[in-house]
Amino acid sequence: MDDQFTIYIEKMHKTHDNLMEELAAIRAGRANPHVLDRIKIDYYGAQTPIAQVANISVPEARMIQIQPWDKSMLRAIEKAINMSDLGINPTDDGSVIRLVFPELTEERRKELTKDVKKKGEEAKIAIRNIRRDAMDLAKKLEKSSEITEDDLKRETKDIQDLTDHMCDKIDKSVEAKNKELMTI
């Protein structure tokens, strides 16, 4: 593909990367430190991810342990977790915070799989919108005689192939996350 189309390629990959971040943040009944990625705390006036102010570990299958490097950050981390949409109450013993993940009910698993499918569909819509913009650019370039009709056909085929590839990648990511959610 031409250099003019690299921005669209990058946008499609960023869309997939963003979906992967969103899927990583969905908890599946077992502890996954990525659920904390979007939670930020006020660290000396700057909004900072928890992972940058504490050691995060998974000592058990359904527990995350957060050990701040600065003990004075315990309250701020605990407050940020409580204010997030994580839905887990942190417990702290004065030096570490523990998050215990309850086993997901069948109903909650099904709810989460619907949410995952919805996020996947939104990502595919974004990919198709990017494809439309790239196709519009190709047609505009052909109309202004910057590329030939053969170039237009090749570019539109390349754009469509990339779109199909990215949609397949999204489907596989959604399928893998749903399989993880439904595994007890």
Summarised one tens digit per residue, pLDDT across range 136-159 is 999 999 899 888 889 889 999 999
CA gap 140, 82 in Å, rounded? 51
- Going by pLDDT thresholds of 50, 70 and 90, the confidence category of residue 24 is confident
Q: Where are the alpha helices (DSSP H) in the chain?
A: 6-24, 74-83, 106-143, 149-182
**The listed CATH number (2.60.40.1890, 1.10.132.20, 3.40.50.300, 3.40.50.720) that belongs to domain 3-24+105-182:** 1.10.132.20
Q: What tokens were used for 180?
A: 């993880």
Chain position carrying tokens 């013993």: 93
Mean pLDDT of the chain: 88
> E strand or H helix at 49, and its extent?
strand 46-49
Which residues belong to CATH 3.30.1360.40 in the chain? 33-100
Res. 94: pLDDT tops 80:
yes
Candidate from 29-43, 52-66, 154-168 with smallest mean pLDDT = 29-43
**The listed CATH number (3.40.50.300, 3.30.1300.10, 3.30.1360.200, 3.30.1360.40) that belongs to domain 33-100:** 3.30.1360.40
CA gap 11, 130 in Å, rounded? 7
Select from 18, 8, 4, 29 the least CA-distant residue to 128. 8
By CB neighbour count within 10 A (0-12 exposed, 13-18 middle, 19+ buried), where does 11 fall? Answer: middle
Taking the C-alpha atoms of 156, 4, 163 and 153 in order, what is their torsion angle to the nearest 10 degrees? 10
pTM of the model: 0.71
% of the chain surpassing 90 pLDDT: 42
Res. 29: pLDDT tops 70:
no
Q: What tokens were used for 155?
A: 């570019």
Chain position carrying tokens 């523990």: 98
How much is the pLDDT for 2?
Answer: 59
CA gap 125, 153 in Å, rounded? 23
